[in-house]
Every structure is written in structure tokens, then in C-alpha cells.
Amino acid sequence: MAAWRLEQARDWWMRFRTPRIAAGTLAAEAYRLKPMIRILGNIRLRHITNVELDNYVTKRLSEEVGAWSINKEVLVWSRILKKAKLWRRLADDYQPLKTKVSDIGRALTREELRHLAGIAATDQDWEAAFYGSVLAANTGLRGCEIKKLRIGSLDLEKRRLQILRADTKSDAGSRTIELNRDATEAAARLLLRASQLTPPATLPEHYLMPKHLSRIAHGKHKGERGYDPSQHQVYWDTAWRSLTKAAGLTGLRFHDLRHTFITHMVERGVPLGTIQAFVGHMSIRMLMHYTHIASGAARKAVELLDADSILQPPTPVAETSPVYRA
């Protein structure tokens, strides 16, 4: 194996992993194996040294890829190198990038969201990621839930959509989502886009965001063109990074749009229980964070009543000089 080139090692790994892991995990690993081949070239496994690893990490950082993603990419290659008995000589010197673990992200203002919309309209390649972001910012849906939406789950006439148990993380994730005007319009435009693809996605069981076959680098669909409505889009990382950079929002995670929705709802006085019906499961840490925001919103809300008081403030008592007696 040490003499294998990176492409040969990747193809073997995918065959080895196929019967052992879920299809979604397999697709994620295939995606994470691509950048190293692009950056280092199709070199042999034994020619990967700590210098190559450092150069790879530096290059990915310069491409504004997050530390978490880079660590995952190196992790997959480290497993291949372990199979080739080559990782031990690299492990002592290699240190994963530090990551900040947080399920609470950044919240955009409505002005920032409108600015993002204006920039997105300038490039058709950003269409799917952008309309997905509008759904996320107005419903609290996760990116993975949006990518797995089927046409049959949409009811634009009643302005709602259904998240199925099979397409979410837990039983609590299965829910009906009410759509506002922006979310309804975004869903309608994605539906129109799906109908114009080759081949078109029009049946209830088809995915709203079909997979682009030209991006498949291995397996039976390798080299094909067009879309497959029976498979959902898995990644929009490149489009999302390009869009947010052009909008001056570098580093904005797609998941931050979920935080944006929750924050806006809390600030408008919507109870957390109602918000959870929209977004599904929230961790204890998230609930504590949003409870803190809700306390501030509640204080502002009750203070609005001060403009129309019922009781008049008491009349100040005039101070008098003290009387001294002999």
C-alpha cells in the first residue's frame, strides 16, 4: 500500500468502507478525500511527510476552510495511512487544529440578510445555497434537513412543509413547519429550479435539491452529467463560501442561520416552547442561552407599558428646615 498513489488509495478506501458505513457517511468521506489529491497531487502514500501535511493544512486555511473541516479531512487520510503502516511516523509531529466547540452561532440582522440576498442575485451558481439559507433564516431548519426535503413534503398553498423522522437527527425533529412569505417564496423558487433541471425533478418522491452527478468522483455514476432527482444534494460548501465572502460575511456558517431565526423569534417575544416546535431539538446549553435573551426581551416588552401608566407617580414632599427647640 505504501507504493499506492493517492487516487488508488482513495478508490480502495471507498470500496473497503462501502459495506461498513452508512451512505451519508460514505459520501462525506469521499468529499473529504478530494482536497489532498488536488493540493498534493497524485503522489505515493510513502511520500507524504510532515512537511506535506503542514503545507496541506496551510493551503486549506488560506482557502478559508474551517479548522473542524480540515481536521476531518486529515482524519480520513490518517486512517488510510494507518492501513498502510505509515501514520505512526507522522503522528508525533501532527497536531489537529484547535476548534471552538459551540452549538450557538452568530445571528444576522434583517439588514444583513437583505444584503446577502442582493449579492446572491448576481451569480446563478449561488442559487441553491442562497434559497436554502432563506429557508434556514426563516424557519430554523438545519442545512441537512433542507437538502433532504422532498417535493411531496411542500404545501405552498397552505404555506407549510413537513420534516420527516427519516430526514432529521431525532424523534423530536419530525415536525410541521409553518412558512412565512420569504420562506414560501424561497421554496417556490427551489421548486421552479428543480423542474428546470436535466432531468427535471417533479414527482412527490423527488428531492427538491437533486444531486449534481458531474461532481461524483467514484462509483457507478462517475463521469455522468445532469442531476439525479432520487438523490439529494450533499454539499454546497464552495458556493456558500464564495457567496458569504462576496457579501463581506466571511466565516459565516450556514448553521448560523438557524441561530439567526431562533434569536429573532426570541427577541420578538415568541415563547421558547413554540420556537422548539419549529426547530426541533435544542441542547440544554442552547436553551439557557436563549432563555437569557428572552429575559432581556421580556424586560423591554413590559417597559413599553410605561408610556401609558395607570398610576401617577407620587407628588414629591417639599423639604422643610428642621426646627430646633431650646
Are 82 and 201 in a shared domain? no
Does residue 173 surpass a pLDDT of 60?
yes
On the CB side of 248, CA atoms within 13 Å amount to 5
The sign one gets for the Cα dihedral 46, 50, 55, 61 is positive
Are 86 and 114 in a shared domain? no
75: domain CATH number?
Answer: 1.10.150.130
Are 47 and 191 in a shared domain? no
Q: Which of 2-16, 72-86, 283-297 has the lowest mean pLDDT?
A: 283-297
158: domain CATH number?
Answer: 1.10.443.10
Are 32 and 158 in a shared domain? no
Are 168 and 235 in a shared domain? yes
Largest CA distance in the chain: 112
- For residue range 38-64, what is the model confidence (pLDDT) as tens digits? 999 999 999 999 999 999 999 999 988
Average pLDDT over residues 137-141: 92
Residue 250 structural domain: 110-298
Confidence (pLDDT) at 164 = 80
- At 66, list the grid cell: 474551517
Does residue 122 surpass a pLDDT of 70?
yes
Confidence (pLDDT) at 168 = 61
Confidence (pLDDT) at 40 = 96
Give a yes or no: residue 169 inside a domain.
yes
Residue linked to cell 437538502: 147
Are 58 and 125 in a shared domain? no
Give a yes or no: residue 323 inside a domain.
no
Q: Which of 37, 59, 91 is the last residue of a domain?
A: 91
Give a yes or no: residue 310 inside a domain.
no
Are 130 and 75 in a shared domain? no
Q: Which of 62, 91, 120 is the last residue of a domain?
A: 91
pLDDT band at 152 (very low <50, low <70, confident <90, very high): very high
- At 38, list the grid cell: 488536488
Does residue 143 surpass a pLDDT of 60?
yes
Global confidence as pTM: 0.67
Are 66 and 212 in a shared domain? no
pLDDT band at 278 (very low <50, low <70, confident <90, very high): confident
Are 56 and 165 in a shared domain? no
Confidence (pLDDT) at 322 = 55
Confidence (pLDDT) at 103 = 57
Are 179 and 67 in a shared domain? no
The continuous run of DSSP H or E covering 130 comes out as: helix 127-139
* 176 SS3 class: strand
Does residue 159 surpass a pLDDT of 90?
yes
Q: Which of 86-90, 108-112, 133-137, 314-318 has the lowest mean pLDDT?
A: 314-318
**∠ Cα 213 61 257 (to 5°):** 65
Report d(CA 262, CA 290) in Å as an integer. 8
Give a yes or no: residue 318 inside a domain.
no
pLDDT band at 238 (very low <50, low <70, confident <90, very high): confident
Mean pLDDT of all residues belonging to the chain = 86
- For residue range 242-253, what is the model confidence (pLDDT) as tens digits? 999 999 998 888
Contact 170, 281 (CB under 8 A): yes
Contact 29, 69 (CB under 8 A): no
Give a yes or no: residue 151 inside a domain.
yes
- At 3, list the grid cell: 507504493
φ, ψ of residue 227 to 5 degrees: the values are -120, 160
Give a yes or no: residue 68 inside a domain.
yes
Average pLDDT over residues 161-166: 82
Give a yes or no: residue 313 inside a domain.
no
Tally of domains within the chain:
2
Are 124 and 264 in a shared domain? yes
Are 85 and 220 in a shared domain? no
- For residue range 181-233, what is the model confidence (pLDDT) as tens digits? 999 999 999 999 999 999 999 999 999 999 988 755 555 556 567 899 999 99
Average pLDDT over residues 121-147: 92
Give a yes or no: residue 202 inside a domain.
yes
Confidence (pLDDT) at 19 = 94
